[in-house]
Amino acid sequence: MNDNKKEPSLKPLNSSSKVERTDFQNKQNYLKQRARPSVARRQVPKPEEIHRRKQVIKWTKWILPALALLLLGSIAVWPEIDRIINTNKEIIKQLARIKVESGTMVGATFHGLDSHDRPYTITSNKVVQKSNNSDMIRLSDPKADILLQNNDWLMVTADQGIYMQHQQNLNLYDHVVLYRDDGLFMYSDIADIALKYSVVTADNWIHAEGPFGQLDAQAYFLDLHAGIAQFQGPGRLILNDDKKSSSSSPSQPLKSSE
């Protein structure tokens, strides 16, 4: 082996090759300059400010639980509030349909009970109440719905009518139509209804049609609760059996009732 092998020599660096790192120092000086003004501007709070902050914290401890209880309570009672709101909306809609002006009402409804505590309802497109007679109410396009025994019902319509509210009397005229839920139709020019006693009378010609057949009479009396019907003649009665028989069979005349 050769012991005369040369070792690598280290050459000193020139001063010109040295790089001085001053960026860290500059950043540190910058941060110190930024911190000094903020520290200088900070002041010790005054006793009044400390007292005010304590009051705010004290009131916050009461207000926040109260708001939480109020919120929980509103959630609990909201269904009832929603029901009241919807009910008021429906009432407002009904009131919007009603216009009252100088004794005239549009879209009126009257409710009552007869002597058997069965309800009846009268509706009218337009009513006029005279100031000199508050009991008499004039009706336009009236309709009366009457509940009978065994949950049967009767409806009477007309073009005009007069409702005596305290006496519970309804006088109808012009194209009076009486309909019963068993299919009976009765047509006349007038009809007087004693709503309290559920009695219908008319001293005028009547034409009736129904499951029994056809009937023409000069006058009639109906007791709706008792189920009694009386007709005054001369008149004509054609039963359904008569329709099925030969056309030459005469119709049966009605006997007049006293």
More confident residue, 71 or 92: 71
More confident residue, 28 or 64: 64
Q: In the predicted model, is pLDDT for residue 131 greater than 70?
A: no
Rounded alpha-carbon distances, angstroms, from residue 48 to 41, 51, 252: 19, 5, 111
* Confidence (pLDDT) at 141: 92
Q: CA-CA distance, 131 to 140, in Å (whole number)?
A: 18
Q: What percent of the chain has pLDDT over 90?
A: 17
Binning pLDDT at 50, 70 and 90, where does residue 242 land? low
Q: How far separated are the first and last CA of the chain, in Å rounded?
A: 165
Binning pLDDT at 50, 70 and 90, where does residue 94 land? low
What region does 107 belong to: left with phi over 0, alpha with psi -120 to 50, or beta?
Answer: left
Q: In the predicted model, is pLDDT for residue 165 greater than 60?
A: yes
* Confidence (pLDDT) at 4: 53
Q: Which domains does the chain have, with CATH numbers?
A: 24-97 (no CATH), 102-253 (2.60.450.10)
Q: Hey, is 17 helix, strand or coil?
A: helix
* Confidence (pLDDT) at 250: 39
Question: If you average pLDDT over residues 165-182, what whole number do you get?
Answer: 90
Average pLDDT score, the chain: 77
Q: In the predicted model, is pLDDT for residue 53 greater than 50?
A: yes
Q: Which two tokens stand for residue 47?
A: 């006793």
* Confidence (pLDDT) at 255: 40
Say which range, 12-21, 120-129, 179-188, 201-210, has the weakest mean pLDDT.
12-21
Q: Which two tokens stand for residue 152?
A: 């049967």
Give the predicted TM-score (pTM) of the model.
0.54
Question: If you average pLDDT over residues 207-229, what whole number do you get?
Answer: 87
